[in-house]
Amino acid sequence: MARANRHYFPGYVWHITHRCHKREFLLKFPKDRQRWLQWLFEARRRYNLLILNYAVTSNHIHLLVFDKEGGEVIPRSIQLVAGQTAQEYNQRKNRKGAFWEDRYHATAVETGDHLRQCLIYVDLNMVRAFMLREPGAPYVSLFETEKEDIGLDNGVYWNNYPEILNG
């Protein structure tokens, strides 16, 4: 049966989740999680993907991105990150078969309070899982020079992107 096309509308924040095949812990080692993250930042560089937050657990990922342009930015970014991560893992482990379970899931997030709740949810997900970042480590997805945490009291984030959070 054919799958429905995904449509990404400009001006929306998207919560993306992607689970490893059969819920296996394919991202349990730091090296594998780090490679996923390196490919994420390569997608950011190539496609101008605006990353708000991310979490990499041992068997799935969470990603909050802002689609300011619409079109193919998000699908191409996820294709690059997921494809390269899976290919490298399978080659290194001399493994064949699926790395990711089906397609990634993308949900539009309302701005304002709903977005704040999603930012917190992604962080709290890491409390229950194996962490990529050390506690208190900076988020580097939004800031080049200001290596600060995203949080409700982060003036850099709120001052630079109020249109995202306030609708």
Rounded-to-integer distance, Cα 52 and Cα 143, Å: 10
The radius of gyration computed from the CA coordinates of the chain, to the nearest angstrom, equals 16
Q: At which residue do the structure tokens 């995904």 appear? A: 6
91 CA to centre of own chain: 23
Is 12-165 a CATH 3.30.70.1290 domain? yes
Tell me the two tokens of residue 56.
Answer: 């990499």
Cβ atoms of residues 27 and 129 within 8 Å = no
Report the SS3 class of residue 141: coil
Delimit the domains of the chain by residue range.
Answer: 12-165
Query: Would you write out the chain's pLDDT as a tens digit for each of its 167 residues?
Result: 666 677 777 778 888 999 999 988 898 888 999 999 999 999 999 998 888 888 888 899 988 888 787 778 999 999 999 999 999 999 999 999 999 988 888 888 877 777 777 777 777 765 444 444 444 444 444 333 333 444 334 333 434 444 544 54
